[in-house]
């Protein structure tokens, strides 16, 4: 939960890599709040569609990343698999977004139950104006 500032539930590569990203790439003044709010949600508490689309996204991301790495080093033969992986990845992201929208009420209730009492999440971001 709160893996990113503008979405209630995120798919992250790993908690360790996301925390490292927060500690190195995010503005210093945001880091304490981001670290306090980020948490893993038990898989058995999530709707099955959320779990299915998250796993699909994660699987396509691995293929996408591998294909992108090949493309970065200039291997022409990687272009077609990368494009195929990119299309699959975007389809998975769309499915994830639809699942999040469909289960928003359920996820908001789960959030209210599991998150810290003074969470600033306003339905859009953990940094409301």
Give a yes or no: residue 80 inside a domain.
yes
Q: Which domain holds residue 7?
A: 1-45+121-129
What would the 3-class secondary structure string for the chain be?
Answer: CCCECCECCCCCCCHHHHHHHHHHHCCHHHHHHHHHHCCCCCHHHCCHHHHHHHHHHHHHHHHHHHHHHHHHCCCHHHHHHHHHHHHHHHHHHHHHHHHHHHCHHHHHHHHHHHCCCCCCCCCCCCCCC
Q: Are residues 41 and 57 in the same domain?
A: no
- The pTM score is 0.59
Q: Give the model confidence (pLDDT) of 51-104 as tens digits.
A: 999 889 888 988 988 888 877 777 667 778 888 999 999 999 999 999 999 999
Q: Are residues 56 and 82 in the same domain?
A: yes
- Number of separate domains in the chain: 2
Q: Give the model confidence (pLDDT) of 11-50 as tens digits.
A: 887 889 899 999 999 999 999 999 999 999 898 999 999 9
Give a yes or no: residue 41 inside a domain.
yes
Q: Are residues 59 and 25 in the same domain?
A: no
């Amino acid at each position: 939960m709160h893996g990113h500032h503008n979405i209630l539930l995120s798919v992250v590569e790993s908690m360790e890599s996301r925390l490292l990203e927060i500690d190195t790439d995010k503005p210093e003044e945001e880091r304490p709040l981001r670290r306090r709010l980020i948490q893993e949600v038990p898989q058995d508490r999530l709707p099955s569609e959320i779990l299915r689309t998250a796993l699909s996204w994660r699987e396509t991301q691995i293929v996408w990343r591998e294909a992108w790495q090949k493309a970065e080093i200039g291997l022409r033969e990687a272009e077609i698999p990368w494009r195929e992986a990119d299309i699959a990845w975007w389809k998975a992201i769309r499915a994830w977004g639809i699942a999040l929208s469909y289960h928003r009420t359920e996820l908001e209730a789960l959030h209210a139950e599991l998150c810290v009492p003074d969470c600033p999440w306003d339905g859009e971001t953990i940094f409301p104006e």
